[in-house]
Amino acid sequence: MKPILYLLVLSVFLSLSSCTGPLPEGVLAVDASKKFELSVNGKRRGGSLFVPLVYDGTRPHSLVFVLHGAGTNADLFRKTVLLDQIAEEHDMIVVYPQGIGGRWDRGDDSIFFDTMINLFSEKYNIDPQRIYATGFSAGAMRVYELAAALPGRFSAIAPVAGTLRADIDTTTLMPTSVLHIHGKKDDEVPFTGLPEWNLLSAEESVNVWKGIDGLSGEGEVFFRSRDAVGICWKGNGQSVAQVFDEENVHYWPPYASELIFDFFYNNPGRQARAVIDRNGLPLATGMGMELQLNVLISLPENSAPVKEVVWYTNGSRCAVSDRAPWNAVWTVNLAGVRRLTATVRLADGTEIRTTRNPFLLVSTMGAKGIGTTDADTLIPVVKAWSTKIEDRSLGAENAIDGDFFTRWGSDWTDDESLTLDLGSVHTVSALALYWEMAYAREYRIEVSTDSVNWTLATRETDGRGNIEFLSFPGVDARYIRIGGERRATEWGYSLFEVFVYGKSSL
């Protein structure tokens, strides 16, 4: 029996919070939380999908499947991997299917995915050469199995913390680009494999695909982050890459989402590749500042020349470069966490999007900094520690690493704190806190010169989360303690990043 698709949400949403005016005639606006349902062998299957908020069907989009791990569900995993915003930037439609009973061990899973590919390709303008799949743990193992069960349907796959089965029929495998991400301290799907589950090691899984794709040699290092190193092998129109992390356990690492969508966007290869140059870009800045924007463009010999580069911040156009070297100046006029992206337009009309794009935190206090004097600047934090954390991957150092994808996560009690060490005494006058959804309703900021005697700098009794700027009279401090008093959620406290402002006392 041919599976039948039952779309649960068919209405058109014509008013979206991210839209600044009426949609052009003929544009289909789709709810970002759209649900779908279909029948496979008499069983109801479904999930949710993300479609870029303004979709007009005039240009092909990529189709990406994201598989959750065992024991969880599609909606929760969607909130964990934070892929929707990246998909919005790169014309990607993302499908979050739900495994039956939270598992991926049914014999008809391949029929489920084959049906979804066909049906979404009928409903949307999908590029058949840009269909992808990624997954975590059991979802990663199923991604490997789907590449074998549906040969040629996926242009690239990206398993995270899941390996290839030793008994897989490699004769069914077709050349496919593969990015494998794995922690060497994974205690659930061990890096070295699991013979009793018939699982190969991470290295063996990568080597199988290198053989299928006809790749060999040492490869090229393309990524470094703390204890993680990424190596890529390219050739014959395919790429096989690995990112092995010396310290990571069974976890979707913060860098995974950006790396995976970068890998998908550039496999198969495009006419050009573009990356924003992060050198010289601050982690935090103020309203009114002028920033130099630079883009690095790689053009093959047969590519059309560059016509212009258009720069965006959170999707809003902010600058244009119309001549080489394609740089621009942006006068910052929007506060909050701003994500910078750029579109490279070639002379033949082709558009190339930048990937692995940077974030900046923009204060509302003006170009001269936050606080009470014109001399206030960003003060580096050299060390951080906290009371109990939720797990090893959410350590205090994540709140000061300049990475907006990592976070500190405390234990699930009210009385938790995060302490920062500035390395020496400074006159501190403000903090910027970028909260994850687990924020503090009430908390205090204390300062100390010796980490023994503490003074209250300010207290927040009605925290709203997201980004909070707190200024107070300048006070000498080497240590700053953010002390929780009341949580806003059932979870603990969670901060993506903390910035300290003031001036040196030396």
* pLDDT tens for each residue of 172-207: 899 999 999 999 999 999 999 999 999 999 999 999
Q: Which residues pair with 505 in a beta bridge?
A: none
Q: At residue 226, does pLDDT exceed 60?
A: yes
Which residues, other chains included, contact 451 with Cβ-Cβ below 8 Å and sequence gap of 6+? 419, 421, 478, 479
**368 falls within a domain:** no
Residue 398 lies in a domain: yes
Give φ, ψ of 265 to 5 degrees.
Answer: -60, -35
- CB burial class (10 A; 0-12, 13-18, 19+) of residue 283? middle
* Torsion angle of the four alpha carbons 70, 47, 126, 301, in this order, in degrees rounded to the nearest 10: -30
Domain that holds residue 351: 273-363
Which of the listed residues 209, 234, 265 is the one where a domain comes to its end? 265
What pLDDT sits at residue 357?
92
**What is residue 372's predicted lDDT score, i.e. its pLDDT?**
39
Query: Model confidence over 100-132: pLDDT tens digits?
Result: 888 888 888 999 999 999 989 999 999 999 999
What's the CATH number where 439 sits?
2.60.120.260
Inform me whether the pLDDT recorded for 317 exceeds 60. Answer: yes
Beta bridge mates, 134:
66, 158
Residue 18 pLDDT > 50: no
Is the domain of 170 the same as that of 74? Answer: yes
Does residue 323 belong to any structural domain of this protein?
yes
Q: What is the DSSP letter of 393?
A: G
500 and 396 together in one domain: yes
Note whether residue 394 is domain-resident: yes
- pLDDT above 70 (res 447): yes
DSSP string, 116-134: HHHHHHHHS-EEEEEEEEE
Under DSSP, is residue 374 helix (H, G, I), strand (E, B) or coil?
coil
421 versus 303: the higher-pLDDT residue is 421
Residue 282 and residue 240 share a domain: no
Domain match, 475 and 332 both:
no
Q: How many CB atoms lie within 10 A of CB 17?
A: 5
Question: Which two tokens mark 238?
Answer: 């395919």
Gyration radius of the chain's alpha carbons: 24
Residues 207 and 68 in one domain: yes
Provide the pLDDT confidence category of residue 265 given band limits of 50, 70 and 90: very high
Residue 458 shares a structural domain with residue 350 = no
- The CA-based angle 123-128-132, given to 5 degrees, is 95
pLDDT score of 139: 96
pLDDT at 256 over 90: yes
Question: Are 408 and 338 within one domain?
Answer: no
Contacts of 311 (CB under 8 A, 6+ apart): 293, 317, 318, 319, 320, 321, 328, 330, 340, 341, 342
**Residue range 287-291: mean pLDDT, rounded:** 86
Average pLDDT over residues 3-21: 29
- Are the C-beta atoms of residues 230 and 259 closer than 8 Å to each other? yes
- Say yes or no: 197 and 125 in one domain: yes
Q: What angle do CA 398, 402, 405 make, to 5 degrees?
A: 65
Tokens 């053009």 -> residue? 299
The dihedral region occupied by 371, where left means phi > 0, alpha psi between -120 and 50, and beta the remainder, is left
Domain boundary residue, one of 363, 392, 421: 363
Nearest-angstrom CA–CA distance, 209 and 174: 9
Note whether 206 and 149 are same-domain residues.
Answer: yes
Averaged over 46-61, what is the pLDDT? 89
CATH of the domain at 338: 2.60.40.10
Residue 109 in domain: yes
Residue 477 counted as domain residue: yes
**372, part of any domain:** no
Count the domains in the chain: 3
Rounded mean pLDDT of 43-51? 90
CB atoms within 10 A of CB 472: 17
Q: Which band of pLDDT confidence, cut at 50, 70 and 90, is reported for residue 47?
A: very high
Residue where one domain finishes, among candidates 363, 389, 414? 363
Assess whether 279 and 258 both reside in one domain. no
**Which amino acid belongs to residue 119?**
L
Residue in 296, 293, 282 with CA at minimum distance from that of residue 318:
293
Q: Which segments within 299-381 are labelled E, that is strand?
A: 306-313, 316-321, 328-331, 336-346, 351-353, 359-363, 377-379
pTM: 0.80
DSSP string, 23-66: PPTTPEE--TTEEEEEEETTEEEEEEEE--SEE-SSS-EEEEEE
CA–CA distance, 505 with 497 (Å, rounded to integer): 24
| pLDDT level of residue 365 (50, 70, 90 thresholds) | low
**pLDDT over 50 at 380, yes or no:** yes
- Of 414, 457, 464, 403, whose CA–CA distance to 439 is shortest? 464
Q: Which has more confidence, 386 or 336?
A: 386
CA–CA gap between residue 287 and residue 37 (Å, rounded): 46
Residue 505 pLDDT: 60
Please say if the pLDDT value at position 427 is more than 50: yes
pLDDT at 34 > cutoff 50: yes
d(C-alpha 35, C-alpha 312), whole Å: 30
**Helix (H, G, I), strand (E, B), or coil: what is residue 484?**
strand
Domain CATH code at residue 45: 3.40.50.1820
Phi-psi category of residue 93: left, alpha or beta, with phi > 0 → left and psi -120 to 50 → alpha: beta
Q: Which parts of 214-301 fold into alpha helices (H)?
A: 256-265
Helix (H, G, I), strand (E, B) or coil at 421: strand
Note whether 156 and 296 are same-domain residues.
no
21 falls in which pLDDT band (50, 70, 90)? very low
User: What one-letter code names the amino acid at 12?
Assistant: V
In this structure, the answer to whether residues 97 and 164 fall within a common structural domain is yes
User: Considering the domain boundaries, does residue 370 fall inside one?
Assistant: no
Rounded-to-integer distance, Cα 424 and Cα 419, Å:
14
293 — pLDDT class (breaks 50, 70, 90): very high
Q: Which residue has the higher pLDDT, 390 or 154?
A: 154
| Mutual angle of helices 109-123 and 138-149, in 10-degree steps | 80
Tell me, rounded to whole angstroms, the distance of Cα 321 from its chain centroid.
27
Burial label for 251, CB within 10 Å (0-12, 13-18, 19+), is: buried
Mean pLDDT (the chain) is: 87
CA distance 194 to 200: 7
Residue 373 pLDDT greater than 80, yes or no: no
